[in-house]
A and B are shown apart, each in its own frame.
Chain A
Amino acid sequence: MKALEIQNLSIAFGGLRAVRDLQITIPPQVIYGLIGPNGAGKTTIFNMLTGVYRPTAGSIHVFGQALIGKSPSCITRKLHVARTFQNIRLFRELSVLDNILVASDGNNNILALEWIFGSPRSRRYAALQVAQAKKLLELFHLETRIHMLAKNLPYGDQRRLEIARAMATGARLLLLDEPAAGLNPAETETLINLIRFLQKEHAMTILVIEHDMHLVMNVCERIIVLDYGVKIAEGTPHEIQKNPRVIEAYLGSEP
């Protein structure tokens, strides 16, 4: 079964057709890159994949399940798709731990009254949640910052916390929107290792939008290139680097 199957996907805002007739198929447990000049429609695709926008035509299936029409929270919970944001959107006034817990809470069927009276079930659940969250944070080298407010974290840590938070939802398909934006070369290197680690050890399927070509070329097994809402190329990093249409889209054509 495919991790992600997009067929004939289109969306229009008023007269502007931001994405046209897009086909993407991603097998499980691989890392795909999504690149293209600014305004090519990359984030729009993420917004459709997470239920923020509703496509005008086409279909999306995640691990065989239809996605279109479901609410963003339902897509995260039931279809196990989670994302990060281009401009970091953490819960700024909450602690690092609480940021993770919000994402991992999910359906627990424990009543509000049980929490008020502190039923054994709720205590067990809380302990388990915190233990799991701590384990996840260790993975992202954030274990020492557990009680800090998210807004007080250094920038690089905020970027990593966003990925950790998306992981905590129990995601199987991870959508990363420019995870390396604003990171220095050393931090980018850590990020590259982290993304590979998530794919190998946590069986994640990852689709990443990125302008940092070093990251894209090093991490992605295959790359999809988008220009003006249309897929203009797909292939291995090696193939993409030599593709004349891609070069044209990025550099403009020779007169």
Chain B
Amino acid sequence: MVEFVQHVINGLSLGSIYALIALGYTMVFGVLQLINFAHGDLYMLGAFIGFYTSQWLHLDDNPGISSLLIALGAAMTGCALAGYIIERCAYRPLRHAPRINVLITSVGVSLLLQFSGQLFFGSDAKFFPQLYRPSGMIHVGELTINPIQIIVFVISLGLMIILQTIIMKTRTGRAMRAVSFNHELAALMGIPTDRVISLTFMLGSALAGAAGVLVGLAYPKIEPLMGVMPGLKAFISAVLGGIGNITGAVVGAMLLGLAEEFLVGYWAPTYKDALAFGLLILILLFKPTGLLGTKATEKV
């Protein structure tokens, strides 16, 4: 029983990181109907921005929440900027091109980020500075909880609530929802669609950047190709929950985090990376719209 609860805690902590990345996928898919393959690599970029910021400001000399927030802020700002540049230079010119061309471009951007990452950051793994050093484990009965897991979970949750507020309560959020509902119609209604799309990219990228720093905190090894797998898994989470659906992305991510943790804990650790894809195929077979998705019909 203790072991079970332990796995649940680990799973939720992992799931909350997937969720942060999945949100960006689902938001971009919402406004552009595009799988932004480069999104996972923005998360890598976030981790490295966090890394270099901490090094530059010597943040690990006085660890604590404030240092963590500084690194987090830097990564989120940097990634938002990168997201803006990518959208502006690579995707916007292709707004009226066939969808497959945009998809190919996003694969190109992804490869570019990964391998220019190797060029600039070096291809070997780096050790992420310990921005927050817990004094010890928290013991609840027989349960041992790493405070870092709680921090990761709480920060992710906080960011998700902020995002939800932006989307549901602000004018910008309303514009985003309008654009994702119908591009041309939104443009006709006087919504600056290009600006809204840029903003969506920036928001999504910022969340990915935050995920990068949080991952650095929890699993301190970072390297330029680290974004590939979590990126794909986050995308799968978004599909599991119903792509385009914000709540769905979070639910899907938590489920995937838990499923992976249980697979590793109880059954076959070597198949961890294959699990997500297996789940993807299952969901596509039985409920292609995702757990919380609704069916959309193409207009004829």
Judged by CB atoms under 8 Å, the answer to whether A and B touch is yes
Indicate whether B297 reaches chain A with its CB closer than 8 angstroms.
yes
Indicate whether B189 reaches chain A with its CB closer than 8 angstroms.
no
Closest residue of chain A to B294, judged by CB? Answer: A14
What chain A residues lie within 8 Å of B300 (beta carbons)? 43, 47, 52, 85
Which residues of A line the B interface, CB within 8 A? Answer: 43, 47, 52-53, 85
A186 CA / B300 CA spacing, docked (Å): 28
Which residues of B line the A interface, CB within 8 A? Answer: 297, 300
How many residue-residue contacts, CB under 8 A, span A and B? 6
Would you call the interface of chain B mostly helix, strand, loop, or mixed? loop
A52 CA / B297 CA spacing, docked (Å): 9
What chain A residues lie within 8 Å of B297 (beta carbons)? 52-53
A53 CA / B298 CA spacing, docked (Å): 10
A192 CA / B297 CA spacing, docked (Å): 33
- Interchain nearest-CB distance for B294 vs A (Å): 9
A47 CA / B299 CA spacing, docked (Å): 10
A52 CA / B299 CA spacing, docked (Å): 9
Closest residue of chain A to B298, judged by CB? Answer: A52
- Interchain nearest-CB distance for B270 vs A (Å): 39
Closest residue of chain B to A53, judged by CB? Answer: B297
Closest residue of chain B to A85, judged by CB? Answer: B300
- Interchain nearest-CB distance for A62 vs B (Å): 19
A47 CA / B300 CA spacing, docked (Å): 8
Closest residue of chain B to A13, judged by CB? Answer: B297
- Interchain nearest-CB distance for B185 vs A (Å): 14
A53 CA / B297 CA spacing, docked (Å): 8
What chain B residues lie within 8 Å of A52 (beta carbons)? 297, 300
Closest residue of chain A to B297, judged by CB? Answer: A53
Closest residue of chain B to A44, judged by CB? Answer: B300
A53 CA / B296 CA spacing, docked (Å): 11
A43 CA / B297 CA spacing, docked (Å): 14
- Interchain nearest-CB distance for A109 vs B (Å): 29
A210 CA / B66 CA spacing, docked (Å): 68
A33 CA / B186 CA spacing, docked (Å): 34
Closest 6 CB pairs of A and B: A52-B300, A47-B300, A53-B297, A85-B300, A43-B300, A52-B297
A167 CA / B73 CA spacing, docked (Å): 63
- Interchain nearest-CB distance for A163 vs B (Å): 17
A47 CA / B297 CA spacing, docked (Å): 11
Closest residue of chain B to A86, judged by CB? Answer: B300
Cross-chain pairs A/B with CB under 8 angstroms, 6 sampled = A43-B300, A47-B300, A52-B297, A52-B300, A53-B297, A85-B300
A85 CA / B300 CA spacing, docked (Å): 8
A43 CA / B300 CA spacing, docked (Å): 8
- Interchain nearest-CB distance for B98 vs A (Å): 11
What chain B residues lie within 8 Å of A43 (beta carbons)? 300
What chain B residues lie within 8 Å of A85 (beta carbons)? 300
